[in-house]
Amino acid sequence: MNLLITGGTGYIGSHTVVELLKLNKNIIIVDNLANSSTKVLDRIKTITGKTATFIEADICDKSALDKIFSEYNIDAVIHFAGLKAVGESSQRPLSYYHNNVTGTISLLKIMDKYKVKNLVFSSSATVYGENNPSPLDEGMPTSATNPYGQTKLMIEHILFDLAESDSEWSIACLRYFNPIGAHESGLIGENPNGVPNNLLPYVAQVAVGRLAQLQVFGDDYDTVDGTGVRDYIHVVDLALGHVKALDKLSEINGCQAINLGTGNGTSVLEIVNTFKAVSGQDIPYEIVPRRAGDIATVFADASIANDLLQWQTTRDLTMMIEDTWRWQSQNPNGFDSTSSE
């Protein structure tokens, strides 16, 4: 099976490529390297003993995509490519709409041209907006509060409309909750450009000394300790969710939204305290005012994934943080760390 993986050198994409190569799939990665590095390719080869084909290209470039589809007999696509920083999306909305929405339309047109109608799409739990109570399930109304979330929601609408118009499409929209962790080897993990936008890489960089302290946004929520609660999922469990979705595409008629989460919530301070215990490092933090739009508790109802995909998470919070710390401590500067080259 020839699989096209857009954004395959990124955090979630690279872990998914590892799991697919272990199953002897033929992988063609397309990435513009806006948020990633080709150094991950050598790490993937070290882990798996196998090589993925890599093509540096942008999914907005239809001629480049056309060339790829004409040269490779693609059977299915897993679509990760896109900009993903919530805060940045409010500062650069046109970039986000162009890269994420226009890029996806470009990809879908080429897929349609070559009659490749099997797709796993990287969506997000951000499409549930602010007003739904947890556990969040796929039947709830969707909305978005920032341009990043709007792009995911727009793409979902496009995919549902596409599948409605043409019954040959089989599409899984995987709504991620909060991916953390790293490969157990410590060779690949989350490698954000600049200051991290997500909690775990920020905590890890404080622990390794790259950042001075963590800001905790609010401690007066109605939660176990007053800090925000989220559903954290190990990136390898998430990657295996893509493998399962790919396997089950033949059973999906049209477009199906599927949550990928643990179904459990963990607070910010529970994360901090577990990270301190695992790493033996102090994690200085300060409480600062809530961020606009943040809500107290978000976690998944993952029953559709459990039933339809026969998938469930197997890695607990301690393992997630152990793997995060192994990656960060062995690669203090990410893929630019000379000590791990």
The encoded tokens of residue 28 equal 């063609």
Q: Tens-of-pLDDT digits for all 341 residues of the chain?
A: 899 999 999 999 999 999 999 999 999 999 999 989 999 999 999 999 999 999 999 999 999 999 999 999 999 999 999 999 888 889 999 999 999 999 999 999 999 999 999 999 999 999 999 999 999 999 999 999 899 999 999 999 999 999 999 999 999 999 999 999 999 999 999 988 877 888 999 999 999 999 999 999 999 999 999 999 999 999 999 999 999 999 999 999 999 999 999 999 999 999 999 999 999 999 999 999 998 878 899 999 999 999 999 999 999 999 999 999 999 999 988 888 644 33
pLDDT value, residue 340:
36
pLDDT value, residue 337:
63
pLDDT value, residue 339:
40
Known catalytic residue at 148: yes
Q: Please confirm whether the linkage preceding 289 is cis (ω < 30° from 0).
A: no
Half-sphere exposure of 148 (CA within 13 A, CB side): 17
> Which residue shows structure tokens 């954290």?
232
Q: 261: domain range?
A: 2-340
Residues in Cβ contact with 44 at an 8 Å cutoff, skipping those fewer than 6 apart: 14, 17, 18, 21, 50, 52, 188
User: What is the spatial distance between Cα 46 and Cα 29, in angstroms, rounded to a whole number?
Assistant: 17
CATH code for the domain in which residue 232 is found: 3.40.50.720
pTM of the model: 0.96
From the list 121, 165, 129, 166, the residue with the least C-alpha distance to 145 is 129
Looking at the structure of the chain, the number of domains it has is 1
pLDDT value, residue 85:
86
From the list 318, 215, 241, 193, the residue with the least C-alpha distance to 80 is 241
Catalytic residue from among 11, 97, 128, 148: 148
